[in-house]
Chains A and B, each alone.
Chain A
Amino acid sequence: MKTIVPFGPQHPVLPEPIHLNLEVENEIVTGAIPAIGYVHRGLEKLCEIRDFNQMIQVCERVCGICSAIHAQCYCQCIEEMMGVEVPDRARYLRTIWGELHRMHSHLLWLGLFADSFGFESLFMQCWKIREKVMDIMEATTGNRVVISVNIVGGVRRNLDPEQIRWVLSELKFVEEGVKSVEAALLEDYTVKRRLKGKGVLTKEDALLLGAAGPTLRGSNVAQDMRQLGYAAYGEIGFEPVVEPDGDSYSRNKVRFRETLQSIELVRRAIDKLPEGDISVKVKGRPEGEVYHRVEQPRGECVYYLRGNGSKNLERLRIRTPTFANIPPLLTMLPGSELADVPVLILSIDPCVSCTER
């Protein structure tokens, strides 16, 4: 007998509102239809009344968790339009803050994911480690989450040698912390039973449905926008993290390994941090169109900007990673048990405010 079970928009496991109509047959999900639109804010439209410098702060607020990377992407777009060469030090600093953001986003997700399969103490442990990363951001930029350091032409804050020493020593604690939860997240019997073989997304499906980020890399596709070598990634060396199985466990492992990789990338960037200016003066107004992609904690983020030479942009289009990951989610769900649905939904790391902008 077929039953429709509404899932969400308010559900204990969901940090943000998304609604799914699940078609259920004897506890087995046979189909799912999504409904979004609970937190639509129309931020893209704001580009018509805010000038292109003020839009940086708007873009940061598209997503709270990956705000620095949104601003970075937006600034890179405008710089490409106006032909601005960013100083080397600014590119490295952007990389450092971007990776710190990835670290805290992944730790947040690892905690929420643990919570989704009922592992409360692991959730607390992950968020405890995350707090160290937040401290690093507050001490180096002045704010905890929406750090607002990117401007067109560079960055607004600098790191002095003393701060760098302190950041490196704090990162050691973060690394120890992350390694201390490795056994619980990846080796634990109960965790494996909840995740292995659940929500399998094959490599072909992932490519066909346009999955992005860890969802794609968990399905054995080595694609990461950081390979494009924007900011300093081309110089510090970067290899995407890939896992072969395509199930929830793989996606979990990809994110766990990326957290450690981010720590390593921050160290490499600090190691190679060049001296010099952190920003250049920018004159003129954006004109033309530009299409730019960056890698966010959740995956590939696409910006399309069109300027007409006035101080307001004509069009700002943002395609966030969760938007791309909803169709793969819809193919993961059929065939799974109703009790696994929360885990599967969280395994794509849904960021609904991002999705709806």
Chain B
Amino acid sequence: MNNVSDITLDALVAEVLKKKNDGWRFVTLSCTELDEESCDILYHFDKDLASSHFRLKAPKATPIPSISSVYFSAFLVENEIQDQFNLKFDGLAVDFERTLLLDEEVTTTPFCRYGVSRANQ
């Protein structure tokens, strides 16, 4: 993987907006759990078959600003990450509140190895 640049929580939305103005197409987000405290989120973009990525090291406790106000299509994948990783996105265009893929009764977050249950939120 090349063309990856690190990004911080504060600069996220502004940087993504810059990408949009440069004519990049939003592809998707990929989230990986690193340890008990943090997750690794990759923002993938595409422009005329070239790829570019942002890497955000997101702490689980703080909400992440949603980029669905910039790229509307990001709302689905952000909801999916909420379902699977127990992260919280702020300012989602459509918030399914962790019921996009899972049922309401489900209290665990399937992609977290370090079990966090939704009940203690």
Contacts and interface: CB of A to CB of B under 8 A. Distances in A.
A223 B73 contact: no
B101 A37 contact: yes
A210 B101 contact: no
Given A315-B32, A326-B76, A207 B25 contact: yes
Interface of A: 33, 35-37, 40, 42, 44-45, 207-210, 223, 225, 227-228, 289-291, 293, 300, 302, 304, 306, 314-315, 317, 319, 323-324, 326-328, 356
22 contacts: A35-B100, A36-B100, A37-B100, A37-B101, A37-B102, A45-B110, A207-B25, A208-B20, A208-B71, A208-B73, A210-B25, A210-B26, A210-B71, A228-B49, A289-B1, A291-B1, A300-B27, A302-B28, A314-B32, A319-B28, A324-B27, A326-B76
B60 to A, nearest CB: 16
B99 interface: yes
A227 B28 contact: no
Contacts of B72: 208-209, 327
Given A290-B1, A302-B44, A324-B73, A319 B99 contact: no
A79 to B, nearest CB: 15
A33 B73 contact: no
A37 B104 CA distance: 11
Interface string B72-110: 110111000000000000000010100111110000001
**Is chain A's interface secondary structure helix, strand, loop, or mixed overall?**
mixed
Contacts, number: 77
A44 B26 CA distance: 22
A228 B71 CA distance: 25
A344 B73 CA distance: 18
A227 B49 contact: yes
